[in-house]
Chain A
Amino acid sequence: MADTSEQKSGRLSDRQKDIIQKFAALGSLFALVAVFSTTSSAFFTVNNGMTIALQVTSIALLGIGATCVIITGGIDLSVGSVLALAGVVAALAVRDWGIPVPFAMLIGILTGSACGWINGILVTKMKLPPFIATLGMMLIARGLALQITGARAVSGLGESFGVLGNGSLFRVVTIGDDGFPIVVFPGIPYPVILMVVIAVAVALMLNRSVLGRHIYAVGSNADAARLSGVNVSRVVSFTYVLSGTLAGLTGCVLMSRLVTAQPNEGVMYELDAIASAVIGGTSLIGGVGTISGTLIGAFVIGILRNGLNMNGVSAFTQQIIIGLVILGTVWIDQLRNRR
């Protein structure tokens, strides 16, 4: 009786919905790779793979932070601006104060942490809605970055500033017969290694640690979590600090890649970060989300951009397509949650 009525109304069973959701993002990722491999011979190569991985790092790092914030039921709109502020602070520390590059970058990253910490206070202590708190921070951080640089790019940072963004591990180069170097293996770029390490660490934190459990509990039901003895303010603040710190790190990586600090860098990156989390199945209502999903989401966006570029699709059309992908995946998510 129940079966027939279910079939009649054409609804999918819960199990089918779960499977669809789990493989929707991953499946579309494989589909993209397959399609682009046939349309462009240069797409499916080690070199291009590393290029994509490198391009994806910034979305992925920001997306990891965004995922944690969104699981608690919050949102962080400030990361695009915070990464610019962190990057220029690191660059100015090198150029104007003569601080060695590693310490200067640490200062940059801590600048991001500080922005996140302030976001946390605004949300937990001053009870501002996360959207408003981080919108304010977005404007303030961007303004600060422009102010302290006079809206000019900071250059002349020296070669060592570019190592983090441009260096790679296991790079194999031989000298050819003509005397020019031949790149046998382009190496794994440092930013990619950084992304993998951080993704694994945060995934472990979410799945295996008490803090991670508390993050999900707060997002699932903040009242219940508080009445179970969870320090809700501290947990929520932590996610904003994490997001800010990762934004700071992303800023340093991006500026290092250009060996120039641009105060205009990272505009709208927060939306890419949120999109990657959402494509990966993170629920904006909170309580649901995984790092693996967010990584898939980041790669979907990255591969779309890269593949469409290689096929000569204009930047405008790219935006349209990425917009459609976001709508499609979230619609599937809604389908799954409708009961």
Chain B
Amino acid sequence: MQTSADIQHLDPRSSDRAALLRLDGITKEFPGVMALSGVSFDLLPGEVHAVCGENGAGKSTLMKIISGVYQPTAGTIVYKGKESCFASPLESEAAGIAIIHQELNLVPHLSVAENIYLAREPRRGFLVDRKKLRTDAKRCLDRLGVDISPDVQVRTLSVAQRQMVEIAKALSLDAEVLIMDEPTSSLTEQETRLLFQVIRDLKASGVGIAYISHRLDEMAEIVDRVTVLRDGRYIATDRFAETTVNDIVAKMVGRSLEEKFPERTSVPSEEVLFSVSGLRREGVFSDVSFSLKRGEILGFSGLMGAGRTEVARAVFGADPLDSGTITLHGETLTIRSPRDAIAAGIAYLSEDRKAQGLAIKMPVDANMTLANMEAVSSRFGFIDFNRHDEVADEYVELLDIRTPSIKQPVRLLSGGNQQKIIIGKWLFRKPKVMFFDEPTRGIDVGAKFAIYKIMDELAAAGIGVVLISSELPEIMGMTDRVAVFHGGRITGVLDTRKTDQEEIMRYASGYGPTAH
């Protein structure tokens, strides 16, 4: 232990034999996209090794390879001195590797104790030993120091509490390697403290922790080494104490902010194109008013669950609205369903591409024309296939969609190309107002830039663009004004050029204009 720590100190990319887990030259290819290429990563016992990178850099893919969800296309994994390849999460779990997923994997209708010991229930003969199940679960929860009853159903818990249950589950596995994917993203300050205490305890007992997080500020407390990935490639590994947050960010981004976003060509006019006032949906949001000028990109910023997506969905008619008025070109609209909104010229690009944006089994062309079938069919409802294919070809070319043919099922395309297909679907509708809800989530950098450029061009063409984003750099780089949401209300509408990320965060946390 002592010697390995010394070697580790000399060389941050330590290659000593004591490594608990070591990955070399890992490559992972999905149809149409290279998620990882030649990535290396190692983990020593008793250390926290952070993996940093932008969205789409390949962090989650790497963790899924370690935990056996995916198998690498090429490369080796050495675990406890033995070359291993885990065919499934069950195998890696049995070997002592536990993962706490970003998307929580709990069964909502089972109790906390049942979830912690799911598929590993203590038994007495054929029956579950309920007493032991309960006491064991209680012990795991106590070790975390959280006040959750092992008997309540998971569906009644908050997201933060569920996170704690996930961690308790990992602890119950006596894992030697623990993977944490954004564990603090939904935790409060106090819960985060608690988690860090648990992490320190785990470190002391020799557990190696791979830690993914966007929150670099928190890392100083617990992280020993940090590896940066960019666009699926390995960039560097440093000891955290010997580097700076700025240095890490520079490696993550790899280019200056100017290059990440296209130059804005559109200029907002004074003419108000679209406005809403007094929007309310019981228990979700209230008193939401904003206006959108012709040629403007308006940002929606705020923390998760602040009501940004909910407002956009209600304006689009996807969710009911209790009260409020929506005005386009000075005319008040009545919107009861997405059909009404689409007919009025409103488009909504949903945050969840696969669940809400695409008919995933259908080909490119069918997805492209789905929102505007009337334009490619005869009066009697029969499709004019010449026109139909023309339209699909036109938008594939316009948006530079990489697909072998317009008949390719969209599930075989990369995230960026899928997103462009949804954008194409809406462009073919010639919308007047378009909501982009997290349009660049999980998309590689090249496609991101292309999508930013499309948004700018739309704005320049006089279309009102609303950009909903959790990434502040995106808000800062692309918008003219930003409406900040907190707890279902807009706490401020700020001029993007005159504000900064800190001020937006302050509004997003509900503190409001203290400094000004």
Does B355 reach chain A (CB closer than 8 Å)? yes
Does B39 reach chain A (CB closer than 8 Å)? no
Does B425 lie within 8 Å of A228, measured CB to CB? yes
Q: Which of B386-438 contact A (CB under 8 A)?
A: 425
Does A223 lie within 8 Å of B355, measured CB to CB? yes
Q: Is the interface of B mostly helix, strand, loop or mixed?
A: mixed
Does A211 lie within 8 Å of B355, measured CB to CB? no
Given A1-B73, A226-B318, A228-B338 in contact, is the A210-B373 Cβ separation under 8 Å?
Answer: yes
Contact with B along A113-154 (1 / 0, CB 8 A): 000000000000000000000000000000000000000000
Does B339 lie within 8 Å of A231, measured CB to CB? yes
Does A229 lie within 8 Å of B338, measured CB to CB? yes
Contact with A along B372-385 (1 / 0, CB 8 A): 01100100011101
Given A228-B425, A229-B339 in contact, is the A217-B359 Cβ separation under 8 Å?
Answer: yes
Query: Once bound together, how far apart are the Cα atoms of A2 and B27, in whole Å?
Result: 11
State the interface size on chain A (CB cutoff 8 A): 24
Does A15 reach chain B (CB closer than 8 Å)? no
Name the one of A208, A220, A221, A288 contacting B382, with C-beta atoms under 8 angstroms: A208
Does B357 reach chain A (CB closer than 8 Å)? yes
Does B361 reach chain A (CB closer than 8 Å)? yes
Name the one of B339, B350, B356, B359 contacting A220, with C-beta atoms under 8 angstroms: B359
B361 cross-chain contacts in A, Cβ below 8 A = 220, 287-288
Given A216-B366, A217-B359, A287-B361 in contact, is the A227-B318 Cβ separation under 8 Å?
Answer: yes
Q: Which of B307-349 contact A (CB under 8 A)?
A: 316, 318, 337-339, 342-343, 348
Does B204 reach chain A (CB closer than 8 Å)? no
Does A224 lie within 8 Å of B359, measured CB to CB? yes
Does B500 reach chain A (CB closer than 8 Å)? no
Does A220 lie within 8 Å of B360, measured CB to CB? yes
Name the one of B342, B359, B382 contacting A216, with C-beta atoms under 8 angstroms: B359
Does A216 lie within 8 Å of B371, measured CB to CB? no
Does B263 reach chain A (CB closer than 8 Å)? no
A212 nearest CB across to chain B (Å): 8
A231 cross-chain contacts in B, Cβ below 8 A = 339
Does A50 reach chain B (CB closer than 8 Å)? no
Does A221 lie within 8 Å of B316, measured CB to CB? no
Name the one of B357, B362, B373, B377 contacting A227, with C-beta atoms under 8 angstroms: B357
Does B106 reach chain A (CB closer than 8 Å)? no
Does B107 reach chain A (CB closer than 8 Å)? no
Given A223-B356, A227-B316, A227-B348 in contact, is the A217-B381 Cβ separation under 8 Å?
Answer: no
Does B69 reach chain A (CB closer than 8 Å)? no
Query: Once bound together, how far apart are the Cα atoms of A228 and B73, in whole Å?
Result: 36
Q: Which of A211-248 contact B (CB under 8 A)?
A: 211, 213-214, 216-217, 220-221, 223-231
Does A227 lie within 8 Å of B381, measured CB to CB? no
B377 cross-chain contacts in A, Cβ below 8 A = 209-210
Does A229 lie within 8 Å of B342, measured CB to CB? yes
Does B358 reach chain A (CB closer than 8 Å)? yes
A220 nearest CB across to chain B (Å): 4
Does B29 reach chain A (CB closer than 8 Å)? yes
Does A208 lie within 8 Å of B370, measured CB to CB? no
Query: Once bound together, how far apart are the Cα atoms of A169 and B38, in whole Å?
Result: 71
B382 cross-chain contacts in A, Cβ below 8 A = 208-210
B408 nearest CB across to chain A (Å): 12
Does A209 lie within 8 Å of B381, measured CB to CB? yes
Does B74 lie within 8 Å of A216, measured CB to CB? no
B29 cross-chain contacts in A, Cβ below 8 A = 2
A288 cross-chain contacts in B, Cβ below 8 A = 361
Q: In the complex, which of the residues A209, A224, A228 has the most CB atoms of chain B within 10 Å of its own CB atom? A: A228
Name the one of B73, B337, B338 contacting A2, with C-beta atoms under 8 angstroms: B73
Name the one of B316, B338, B342, B383 contacting A213, with C-beta atoms under 8 angstroms: B383
Name the one of B356, B373, B374, B385 contacting A224, with C-beta atoms under 8 angstroms: B356
Does A221 lie within 8 Å of B339, measured CB to CB? no
Does A217 lie within 8 Å of B316, measured CB to CB? no
Query: Once bound together, how far apart are the Cα atoms of A242 and B515, in whole Å?
Result: 66
Does B383 lie within 8 Å of A1, measured CB to CB? no
A1 cross-chain contacts in B, Cβ below 8 A = 73-74
Query: Once bound together, how far apart are the Cα atoms of A8 and B73, in whole Å?
Result: 13
A290 nearest CB across to chain B (Å): 13
Given A220-B362, A287-B359, A287-B362 in contact, is the A226-B383 Cβ separation under 8 Å?
Answer: no
Query: Once bound together, how far apart are the Cα atoms of A273 and B74, in whole Å?
Result: 47
Given A287-B362, A288-B361 in contact, is the A213-B356 Cβ separation under 8 Å?
Answer: no
Query: Once bound together, how far apart are the Cα atoms of A200 and B286, in whole Å?
Result: 53
Does A221 lie within 8 Å of B358, measured CB to CB? yes
B30 nearest CB across to chain A (Å): 11
Name the one of A211, A221, A224 contacting B381, with C-beta atoms under 8 angstroms: A211
Residue of A nearest to B380 (CB): A209
Query: Once bound together, how far apart are the Cα atoms of A227 and B426, in whole Å?
Result: 11
Residue of B nearest to A211 (CB): B381
Name the one of B348, B370, B385 contacting A230, with C-beta atoms under 8 angstroms: B370
Does B370 lie within 8 Å of A217, measured CB to CB? yes
B378 nearest CB across to chain A (Å): 9
A208 cross-chain contacts in B, Cβ below 8 A = 382-383, 385
Q: Which of A229-284 contact B (CB under 8 A)?
A: 229-231
Q: Which of A170-214 contact B (CB under 8 A)?
A: 208-211, 213-214
Residue of A nearest to B376 (CB): A210
Does A227 lie within 8 Å of B350, measured CB to CB? yes
Q: In the complex, which of the residues A210, A213, A217, A224 has the most CB atoms of chain B within 10 Å of its own CB atom? A: A224
B29 nearest CB across to chain A (Å): 7
B249 nearest CB across to chain A (Å): 35
A162 nearest CB across to chain B (Å): 36
Q: In the complex, which of the residues B316, B318, B338, B370 has the most CB atoms of chain A within 10 Å of its own CB atom? A: B370
Query: Once bound together, how far apart are the Cα atoms of A230 and B362, in whole Å?
Result: 15
Name the one of A209, A216, A229 contacting B362, with C-beta atoms under 8 angstroms: A216
Query: Once bound together, how far apart are the Cα atoms of A81 and B370, in whole Å?
Result: 36
Query: Once bound together, how far apart are the Cα atoms of A32 and B457, in whole Å?
Result: 61
Q: List 7 A-B contacts (CB under 8 A).
A: A210-B383, A211-B381, A213-B366, A224-B357, A226-B318, A226-B337, A229-B339
Beyond A227-B338, A228-B338, 13 additional contacts (C-beta under 8 Å) are: A2-B29, A5-B73, A210-B377, A213-B370, A216-B366, A220-B360, A220-B362, A221-B356, A224-B356, A226-B337, A226-B338, A228-B425, A229-B342
User: Ordered nearest first, which 7 A-B pairs have the shortest CB separation?
Assistant: A220-B359, A229-B342, A228-B371, A210-B373, A287-B361, A228-B370, A220-B361
Name B's A-contacting residues (CB within 8 A). Answer: 29, 73-74, 316, 318, 337-339, 342-343, 348, 350, 355-362, 366, 370-371, 373-374, 377, 381-383, 385, 425
Name A's B-contacting residues (CB within 8 A). Answer: 1-2, 5, 208-211, 213-214, 216-217, 220-221, 223-231, 287-288
